[in-house]
Amino acid sequence: MHQQTKARPLLLGIADRVNPRGSVNPEVATDILGLRQVVASHIYPLDIQNYQVLIGFPVGSPPSGRIRLFMRERPSQNVWLQYAFSVGDAPPEAITQQIVVSFSLRTDLVHPMIWQPGTLEVRLELDGDEHDLGFIKFVYVPAPPLSDDIRHAIKSNPSLWSELRMVIQCSKCKAGITPEVGPERFKPEAQDERFPNPTWYEDLPDDFKCECGTTSVPLRYLRESMHWFLANTSSVQADGSVTIQTSLLSLPEAEKVLGAFRRLLDGEPPESKVQSFIQTNPMLLAPFAARQLFFKPPILNKYAADFGIVTSRRELLLIEIERPNLHLLKADGSQHSELTHAFSQVQMWNHEITENRAAVLRCIPQCPTDIATVRYLVIAGRSTKSDTEALTRLLRSSTFCGLMTYDHLIEDARNAIRQAIA
């Protein structure tokens, strides 16, 4: 009969990030981000390989052992965390000072996947016995519907996925299912031959069960919330059983749109036609990396911007579109009165937002109420070689409201798309 241990490790929870990772030096300060024992997710199956499990070892804890992680609902699927502490060349009889250790779940042997909401049990194996260390609860929160502002943002932001397919397949019998999602339901002729017979996510059954009975995956969570992936690309991690395919705008397609836009500008159209072209081709707003994109967002009942963009930093950017032949500079290189008038419109927006910020945000459908910063941008005029120095000086002097020419917009859009596709 083994000697009973006076103290045992304790599960502290699961964290998004621990720095320094895996440190056992109690003298080194540990930065822990997102420590919790309840994980709420819009999506299952949920990849947890980038999480860190934190275990506290009080004085008197065993110096070595194995820790088993398994879902209560799937007890046959295990992830093992092994540890061993030593002093010099020999392990101590027990840990002599309290320490906290983070264990990475990223491994080449087992890909940790939470297939459905439930309870992750954490147990210590010691001398043939198992001891409960704690548990982590995984809960399901349905994703909000895919609103129009999110759809517009997906079409404008090349770093977001315009379509996504997941291949769920049994490793033995090779039977599988391919859920797919996009801003709009795909047409049959748009299907990718590499993914035959995909299933639109809203048409998924409750479960997938393979022919040999080895693989069983609940699908109702994807059926309800798979669209959440489109605006949250960094949340998806691929492994051997779930692979991701994304279709972004190609550079030749982008160049066709940019060329058509430049030809439109050369004809010196009114600002309404420019605004309509951008609304039809929101990829022109790619430089702003929109998470939400609003067309004609109201500023109370007094004004309306041409575009409103919410960024990942919770900034709201309000954009005023002016005609491409608007004069930016006078002959002496100073700011032209036409541009001054454009800036004055934005100043009126700023006054309303300063006085009635909460009311303005509520007036924009689907706009977050916790916006950190409101910024302004005027897009107007063209860039020419003759006024490069004066224009550069004007652009740098615009502190209250940003200024961008249409030529700068085209170039910045091209660079943003190239960077996303590369």
What pLDDT digit, counting tens, does each position of 292-341 carry?
999 999 998 889 999 999 988 889 999 999 999 998 888 887 888 988 89
Q: What is the pLDDT of residue 196?
A: 64
The predicted structure's pLDDT at residue 363: 92
Extract the tokens encoding 19: 């720095």
342: pLDDT strictly greater than 80: yes
* Dihedral in degrees, nearest 10, Cα atoms 229, 232, 233, 238: -60
- Residue 342: CB atoms within 10 A of its CB come to 22
Closest CA to 63 of 97, 17, 112, 104: 97
Report residue 410: phi and psi, to 5°.
Answer: -60, -45
Kindly tell me if the per-residue pLDDT of 348 is higher than 80: yes
More confident site: 47 or 352: 352
Assess if residue 95 is contained within a domain. Answer: yes
User: 189 pLDDT exceeds 80?
Assistant: no
Domain boundary among 230, 246, 262: 246
Residue 227 CA to residue 281 CA, distance in Å, equals 22
Residue 2 lies in a domain: no
Model confidence, pTM = 0.74
Q: What is the mean pLDDT of the chain?
A: 84
Q: Does one domain contain both 259 and 388?
A: yes
CB 155 within 8 A of CB 183: yes
User: H or E stretch including 114?
Assistant: strand 113-114
The torsion angles phi and psi of 170, rounded to 5 degrees, stand at -75, 135
| Cross-strand bridge partners of residue 16 | none
Q: Quick check: is 154 in a domain? A: no
User: Is the pLDDT assigned to residue 245 strictly greater than 50?
Assistant: no
- Residue 13 forms beta bridges with which residues? 54
**Residues facing residue 403 across a β-bridge:** 378
**Are 363 and 394 in a shared domain?**
yes
Question: Do 340 and 216 share a structural domain?
Answer: no
Our CA dihedral for 221, 227, 229, 231, rounded to 10 degrees, sits at -150
Q: How far apart are CA 231 and CA 158, in angstroms?
A: 11
Same domain membership, residue 181 and residue 101? no
Nearest to 241 by CA among 269, 265, 263, 208: 208
Report pLDDT for 244.
46
- The answer to whether 138 and 41 are in contact (CB under 8 A) is yes
297: domain CATH number?
A: 3.40.91
Comparing 116 with 419, the larger pLDDT belongs to: 116
Reply yes or no on whether the pLDDT at 2 is more than 70: no
Does one domain contain both 126 and 22?
Answer: yes
Q: CB 147: neighbour CB atoms within 10 A?
A: 12
Whether the predicted pLDDT of 241 surpasses 60: no
Domain finish residue from 229, 246, 263:
246
Separation CA 242–CA 261 (nearest Å):
39
Instruction: Write down the pLDDT at residue 108.
Output: 53
Q: State residue 204's pLDDT score.
A: 95
Whole-number pLDDT of residue 3: 45
Is 250 in contact with 208 (CB distance < 8 Å)? Answer: no
Looking at the predicted structure, is the pLDDT value of residue 118 above 70? yes
Alpha helices in 157-305 (DSSP H): 220-225, 251-266, 271-280
Tens of pLDDT, residue by residue over 177-188, are 889 888 888 766
**What single string gives the DSSP state of each residue in 24-56?**
--TTS--EEES-BSEEEES-SSEE-TT-EEEEE
343 plus 259 within the same structural domain: yes
Is 5 inside a domain boundary? Answer: no
Asked whether residue 265 falls in the same domain as residue 396, the answer is yes
Q: What is the C-alpha to C-alpha distance for residues 327 and 332, in angstroms, rounded to an integer?
A: 13
DSSP track, 249-290? PPHHHHHHHHHHHHHHHHT---HHHHHHHHHH-GGGGGGG--
**Which residues contact residue 388 at a Cβ distance below 8 angstroms, ignoring those fewer than 6 apart?**
none
* Pairing, β 74-84 against β 46-47: unpaired
What is the predicted pLDDT for the residue at 90?
54
Among 61, 54, 43, 51, smallest CA distance to 16 is for 51
Specify whether the CB–CB gap between 37 and 87 falls below 8 A.
Answer: no
What is the spatial distance between Cα 309 and Cα 278, in angstroms, rounded to a whole number?
13
The model's pLDDT over 393-405, given as tens digits with 9 standing for 90+, comes to: 776 766 678 889 9
For range 227-243, the mean pLDDT: 57
DSSP state of 386: G
In a domain, 238, yes or no: yes
**Which pLDDT belongs to residue 238?**
37
Q: Which residue has the higher pLDDT, 387 or 16?
A: 16
Residue numbers of the domain that contains 96: 10-140
What tens digit of pLDDT does each residue of 252-293 get? 888 999 999 999 999 999 999 999 999 999 999 999 989 999
- The pLDDT of residue 190 is above 90: no
Same domain? For 297 and 355 the reply is: yes
Averaged pLDDT, 4-22: 80
Task: Answer whether residue 79 shows pLDDT above 80.
Answer: yes
Name the token pair of 416: 């943003």
Our CA dihedral for 3, 6, 11, 17, rounded to 10 degrees, sits at -100
> Given 222, 246, 270, which residue is the final one in a domain?
246
The answer to whether residue 148 sits within a structural domain is no
CA distances from 337 to 233, 319, 331 (A): 44, 19, 12
Same-domain status, 307 and 231 = no
pLDDT score of 364 more than 60:
yes
Q: At what angle do helices 251-266 and 406-421 cross, to 10 degrees?
A: 180
pLDDT at 237: 41
- Count the domains in the chain: 3
> What's the pLDDT band for 32 if we cut at 50, 70, 90?
confident
* Residue 348 maps to a domain: yes
Q: Do 377 and 303 share a structural domain?
A: yes
Percent of the chain with pLDDT over 70: 85
Mean pLDDT of 146-151: 90
Q: In what order do the strands lie in the sheet with 292-295?
A: 292-295, 307-310, 315-321, 373-379, 402-404
Do residues 279 and 236 both lie within one domain? no
Query: Is 242 inside any structural domain?
Result: yes
More confident residue, 175 or 298: 298
8-state DSSP, 332: T
Same domain, residue pair 79 and 133: yes
Tokens linked to 298: 């109201």
